[in-house]
Structure 1
Amino acid sequence: MDTDALTPARLRQLRAHKPYPAVSLTMPTHRAGQDGEQDAVRLRNLMAEAERRLGDDGVDRATGAGVRAQLERAVAELDLRQAQDGLAILADAQEYQLWRLPRSVPERVVLSDSYLTRNLVSAKAQARPYWVLVVAADRTTLWSGSGETLDEHTGDGFPQTRPQEDFDPQREERQGDTASTFTDEWTRQYLREVDGAVGSILEADPRPLFLVGLAPALSVLRDAGPATAAAVGRVVKGGLTDGPAAELLKELRPALDEYRTRHAAAVAGRLDAARGRKVFAAGLDEVWGAVRDERAALVVVEEHFQRTVRVTSGHLQPVDPSEPDDEEVREDIVDEIVETALDGGAEVIFVPDGTLTEHGGVAAELRY
């Protein structure tokens, strides 16, 4: 699965308590199988480590066999030619899940009573997912976007097709013409239903929403309801309800770039204002403390910023990633900060590398 499948409901399922052991296996990978042989060796080594851990942790034979079977099924399904920057395999005695991540992750095997989710959460936040609603008078489709990937979302009421209206000779007799495609009440009601369906999806999985369609359709949709009225970008282009995805993404790109530029400027403004009000934190140690205390309202992170640290006397000390591992060393402290911030109700935004150089790669606006 890709990170755009990580809805709040699915995340709750992953975090739910499970019979021990729930195995989380993570590793960095190379995109498009650029070094598939190295990835395959790393995966074999991690599978051997999981096998050893299952034996050492005193897992009963039947449960251990079930977990091993699920891990083997996951590996059999995995196609490293479709790899991104990281991989997570989650498995217990009943199920397995494969997650392709657009963010590098540490190489590790964790046995616990729930799955390790911080790498998934951070990868999704970095991917900056969005929704695209493509509307026409008779058909509307919804697309899920993340980075350079765009896929049609089927389900939750989409695609929506406008019911055929019966011919109304009395209306034509009264008004002397036939109803305009985008002005008749039949179409307006249809678009109100579209807005309601989008609103339900945004409530379950909030993301920026972009609208695509002819100018008359977008004009009517603006007044159809609160969900589509709050769209962050509009693209005036018809004939794209069925894509293809590559063409739709091409038409969307200027609106996406404009939104991201506008959004980055707004984020910089919020951080500057926070500094002026003295509700600002910068650097790993300060931001880590703020998110743990749930004082962070906004956390901003450079896209590829990652550090290995050791927790010493309640503070973070950077260490060389090659240093011997111990329980106080955190290889993915940035992902931990992101997940903790989101759990505490903070907004998390990733910005281009170099944006936060003077702040150590990460900064926060505090609630107090």
Structure 2
Amino acid sequence: MPTIAIPELYEFTDTVPYRPAISILLSLEQMSYAKERVKQSVKQATEEVEKHLLEHYPGEMVLLMTEKLRQLIESINYNSNKKSVALYLSPLFEKILYLDIPVNETTIVDESFDIRDIVSNKKQSKEYLVLHLSENEYRIYEGKGHSLRLILHNSASAHYASYKDILNEAAANNPGGAIAKELIWEHFLKHAANTLDILLNAYYLPVFVIGQTRAIDYFQRTTGHAASIVDFLCTLQDPAGNDAISEMLKPYISDWEKVRYTILKKQLGEAAENQKLTTGIKAVWQEASAHKGKLLIVEKNFIYPVEQTTGSIQMSPAARSYSSSSLVTNLVDDIIEKILEAGGDVEFVEDGYLEDYDRIALIQGY
């Protein structure tokens, strides 16, 4: 495998790893009571860290690390509007990363940091939207696991009342009753598509579309968010109630990893079509350095070593100053850190999945 040369890294190659390295991931999602809840989580994490330190390190090191941890905790910004925070510290350095991704809270006391721990501890929540289309109405549900909550309902009659002037004009220009009815119905479905677009711009979630064949066919031609749609579920008759819809979705919810891969594949295809996709380690690194990336997709065991000689590409300051306890140990990790710090997201996939993309791909916007 070729390597990318980085200047000034040579001075750290002979450094003995500095221990202990402490990593703490905390959730900030419940902002209304985040500070008190996080304080409780921090208290538990601190006790866990102190217990480990007392068992494995001398008293001077325990005092040093607990004081550094206390100072780092006091610097947490509870008004950051981020979903989570990562704390990293060793005898040599400390760092806080505010993240736009939810994480499972965890504490790690180890010999070295790994930025990939953040991605590995992401919450894989089974959240989605359901658009149910029929001739008389459309409904949009918010789904969490097997539970559904109706968040929007619009009937064809109410839609006609709101747009009757426009629709009456269309009907007058097409006096054939069947043609006029078709135009009105298509306008109704287009309104459903526009409503879904608005929701997806605010809440980027996968979508299931349910309806009879005619409605599905039209919606497939008009939607602007094909990459967000997991599947179109055609029915002979409309499912009656939440339980019937949940039953249709059960195979998908039970195999959510397949849903995740389906959406990633669609996102890659749409990004390539819209020229918003960058692939290959060097090109992706350059885009990430320019803060252009929003979603990084990378094979989970892909690493790209860095030689300790001069070259044109430089890693982040973290990579040059954290010694061997750094969050960043190779160019892929440097990219991951840049994306997370810029408010982006990272998804790991199985090795070989990105064979056509040189093992790493960056989407510049959803």
After TM superposition, the score normalised by the length of structure 2 is: 0.45
Rg larger for: 2
Q: Which has the higher contact order (CA 8 A, sep 6+)?
A: 2
After TM superposition, the score normalised by the length of structure 1 is: 0.44
